[in-house]
Amino acid sequence: NCSMDDTCVLCTRCFQATDHVGHDTSFSVNSGTGGCCDCGDPEAWKIPLRCRHHNSFEELEECGLEPIVSSAGAPFVPGYGNNNECPASVRRSMELTIAVLLEFILETFATSPVSLSGQFDDATIMEDAQNAGLAIGDTERQERYAIVLWNDEVHSYQDVIDQCTEALQCSHMEAKKIAETVDACGRDVLRVSTSITELIDIATTMTNVSLSVSIRAARDIFREQLSASLLIWLRDLACCKFRPLARVFGGKINNEIRAEISYQLCLRWVAPTRNAYLADALERMYDYSLMES
């Protein structure tokens, strides 16, 4: 009725906040990851949906609709006026926060391996830590390293449990928890140690059945884990999932945040032009000529 085709969907929250009286609808439960709500995408709908969560207060007022989250004043914010405009001080803080987060995420992923090697040795692992450190400006010698198990579409839960029990000398319950985390999150840290040799022994046992593992400095593994969490946070900001923000500046802050994230994602990443080590890392791992074009 209102969707352009069968691929256009709404989450339960947005469906209940829009008018679909008399429409033919179907419901399904997504048991896996992926997919997103099409609320706010004008190309997905034949008519404006007027979502009472996401449309501006002005648009809803014109249609005689009551927003589900009403606005409230915030006079304690410097520069705040009665017109509900986002002050320059808040906008600047928002710009800097998003810029710093994206810089951290890009630096981290640029120095992360794009493929998993089945061969492990002390020299290669330490060289990877040194190169990553140079690229991010951390020249301190790394003492702690970590081994990570990655998900795949080949091995079963029992395969992972059996190998973890043998390699880590852990209980069945601990191994099961690792398997569940790998299945849900895509990977899990098996062990952190100051001994690279110990981690290589674990990796050898895991790769005996072709499980995918990687060994890196604990610093770099932590940065990867943190970057994943930051990406989820930015996604939730862009999707207006933090409902209290709808109470700030007449609901306009969500639009400001979404616009700023979109703007910065479209900017050319200039850090490699200022950091030779970072440029070298990109050239080793990616087709850097394509990135520059």
Q: Quick: pLDDT tens for 221-246.
A: 999 999 999 999 998 888 877 767 76
User: What CA–CA distances, in Å, run from 141 to 48, 126, 227?
Assistant: 57, 9, 22
pLDDT over threshold 90, residue 279: no
pLDDT over threshold 70, residue 216: yes
For 56-95, the pLDDT digits (tens) are: 777 888 888 887 754 444 444 444 444 567 778 888 888 9
234-238: list long-range contacts, CB under 8 Å, 24+ apart. 234/98, 234/101, 234/102, 234/261, 237/261, 238/262
pLDDT over threshold 50, residue 291: no
263 versus 243: the higher-pLDDT residue is 263
Residues 6+ apart with CB under 8 A from 103: 271
Task: Tell me which of 69-73, 96-100, 184-188, 200-204 is least confident.
Answer: 69-73
Q: Between helices 88-110 and 122-136, what is the axis angle to 10°?
A: 160
Answering whether pTM is above 0.85, one says no
Instruction: State residue 33's pLDDT score.
Output: 58
77 versus 154: the higher-pLDDT residue is 154
- Residue burial 90-109, b: 16+ Cβ < 10 Å; e: rest: bbeebeeebeebbeebbbbe
Average pLDDT (187-211) is 94
Q: Between helices 88-110 and 218-238, what is the axis angle to 10°?
A: 140
pLDDT over threshold 60, residue 199: yes
Instruction: State residue 81's pLDDT score.
Output: 44
pLDDT over threshold 60, residue 148: yes
Kindly state the percentage of the chain with pLDDT values over 90.
35
Q: Between helices 196-207 and 122-136, what is the axis angle to 10°?
A: 110
- Which residues pair with residue 215 across a beta bridge? 147
* Torsion sign over Cα 117, 122, 124, 127: positive
- Bridge-based pairing state of the strands 145-150 and 213-217: antiparallel
Q: How confident is the model at residue 249 (pLDDT cuts 50, 70, 90)?
A: low
Give the chain's mean pLDDT: 83
Helix, strand, coil abundance in the chain, percent, nearest 5: 50, 5, 40
Instruction: State residue 246's pLDDT score.
Output: 66
49 versus 170: the higher-pLDDT residue is 170
Instruction: State residue 2's pLDDT score.
Output: 84
Instruction: State residue 75's pLDDT score.
Output: 40
- How far apart, in whole angstroms, are the C-alpha atoms of residue 144 and residue 126? 11
Kindly state the percentage of the chain with pLDDT values over 70.
85
